[in-house]
Amino acid sequence: MNKYEQMTYRRCGKSGLKLPAISLGLWHNFGFVDKYEHFRETLHTAFDQGITHFDLANNYGPPPGSAEENFGKILHADFKRHRDEMIISTKAGYTMWDGPYGDWGSKKYLVASLDQSLKRMGLEYVDIFYHHRPDPETPLEETMRTLDLVVRQGKALYAGISNYPAKLAAEAFKILNELGTPCVIHQPKYSMFERWVEDGLLDTLETYGVGCIPFSPLAQGMLTNKYLHGIPEDSRAAKAHGFLKKESLTEGRLKQISKLNDLAQSRGQSLAQMALSWLLKDKRVTSVLVGASSKEQLLDSLKCLENQSFSSEQLDKIENILSESRQ
């Protein structure tokens, strides 16, 4: 069986684009501070397993920009002849350089950032260019017109948005549809522990024919076996500068994690695998973004594809666990 037969590909909304059920995110583990050979091996493993979508952003690293630079280096050294088999995405919307033009959603910032990203990766175009977060000060029309512009210029093939709430996302979709460059994908934070997208966003995406690709599906590692026995010293929660705070791992939360782990084991899965399968059960979810610090971790995550179905009893049990107090 070749790699494309072993991977499931899902259509991205109503577009012609298909994405692998599992995509590789380069938010962590691919910066200058990380070991080159480790993430190079991870990229090879991903592609060999049928993962065709590699998700970046201008500020991924650390330091910012280094993930794109490292990815571009490996792409040209190892995957150049496979470029047309890959979907490469990047984003702009968070702080990238000093001054008033290095952040948010102005035309000045977005165009300059994409040009920088293309240069770092050594590419003529990316497949998807996202606005990374809403800008409360720049008119939405300006930001969306810029996404339309870069697609018409050939610097990106498709437009996407990330972290937009349902109402604002609908306004963005309307503008892009009128411009003739429909949004094909939305990237929200979504996991068993982070479910705001269920309060209207998923329905909005379905209405407008836009795909959904959740990030942080394992809740920064909480939905893994990492915290079953407390907080390891080398974990994200133990690091003062990390995105996952130690305060998030309350006694109630740890009890939820333990109960979810028991249920996952009864399904023949790890907790991480069940958490990914739980997202993929919804047909509105096109793909799920996973990070990986090693090829072994990535291969473990991919096993979620072996069991994506849940009984009504299992789903009820998950809801009951998640409704318990986290205090």
pLDDT score of 238 more than 60: no
**Please, is 240 exposed, middle or buried when counting C-beta atoms within 10 Å of its C-beta (0-12, 13-18, 19+)?**
exposed
pLDDT in tens, 43-78: 999 999 999 999 999 999 999 999 999 999 999 999
The confidence score (pLDDT) of residue 60 equals: 98
Check which CATH number belongs to the domain holding 156 and give it: 3.20.20.100
Q: Which tens digits make up the pLDDT trace of 88-141?
A: 999 999 999 999 999 999 999 999 999 999 999 999 999 999 999 999 999 999
Taking the C-alpha atoms of residue 175 and residue 72, their distance in angstroms, rounded to an integer, is 32
How many residues does this entry show for the chain? 327
Indicate whether 22 pLDDT > 90: yes
* Residue at 316 is within a domain: no
What is the chain's mean pLDDT, rounded? Answer: 94
- Indicate if the pLDDT at residue 5 is higher than 60: yes
Looking at the structure of the chain, the number of domains it has is 1
* 251 found inside a domain: no
* Cis peptide bond upstream of 63, omega within 30: yes
Would residue 36 count as lying in a domain? yes
Within-domain flag for 180? yes
Read off the pLDDT of residues 272-311 as tens digits, 9 standing for 90 and up.
Answer: 999 999 999 999 999 999 999 999 999 999 999 999 999 9
Of the pLDDT bands very low, low, confident and very high (cuts 50, 70, 90), residue 237 is: low
DSSP-assigned beta bridge partners for residue 63: none
What is the pLDDT, as a whole number, of residue 227? 86
Residue 249: its pLDDT value, please?
84
Q: What is the mean pLDDT of residues 140-150?
A: 98
Report, as an integer, the average pLDDT of 251-278.
96
pTM of the complete model beyond 0.85: yes
pLDDT band at 245 (very low <50, low <70, confident <90, very high): low
Token output for 239: 């690091």
Q: Which domain holds residue 160?
A: 3-224+272-308
Q: Is residue 117 part of a domain?
A: yes
The predicted model gives 190-197 an average pLDDT of 98
Q: Is residue 47 part of a domain?
A: yes
Angle between helices 107-121 and 66-78 (to 10 degrees): 40
